Amino acid sequence: MGFILGSISLALAIAAVLSLINLLVAVYAYRKGHSPIACIALFFVSMFLSPIAGFLLAMFMKPSRIKKCPKCAEDIKKDAVKCRFCGADIPPQPVV
């Protein structure tokens, strides 16, 4: 009996740690500039495949909330009207 309870709590602990890691992948993706929908998708990728797959996807996928500054080519937020690196004024982009 004690063994079964121990196994259950161990499984629960592992599940808790895994969902925490999956959550971290989603937060990382969001901070990198991915849209909330992409972050949720990455969360499920982490859950069903592996957090490493989700993390790698977040790393290599092109963030949708990021664009390049036309003046200095640094990555800036899509909604930015002023580059935070060189201070150039960015004309608002038409919605694609």
Binding interface with Zn ion (CB under 5 A): 69, 71-72, 83, 85-86, 88
Compute the distance between CA of residue 43 and CA of residue 29 in angstroms, rounded to an integer: 9
Of 59 and 86, nearer to Zn ion (C-beta) is: 86
Taking the complex as a whole, the smallest distance from the CB of residue 89 to Zn ion amounts, in Å, to 10
- Give 88's Cβ-side CA count (13 Å radius): 14
Bridge partners of residue 82, in order along the sequence = 89
Of 14 and 74, nearer to Zn ion (C-beta) is: 74
Taking the complex as a whole, the smallest distance from the CB of residue 92 to Zn ion amounts, in Å, to 15
Of 47 and 66, nearer to Zn ion (C-beta) is: 66
Task: Check if the beta carbon of residue 71 is closer than 8 Å to that of residue 57.
Answer: no
Compute the distance between CA of residue 60 and CA of residue 55 in angstroms, rounded to an integer: 9
Taking the complex as a whole, the smallest distance from the CB of residue 49 to Zn ion amounts, in Å, to 37
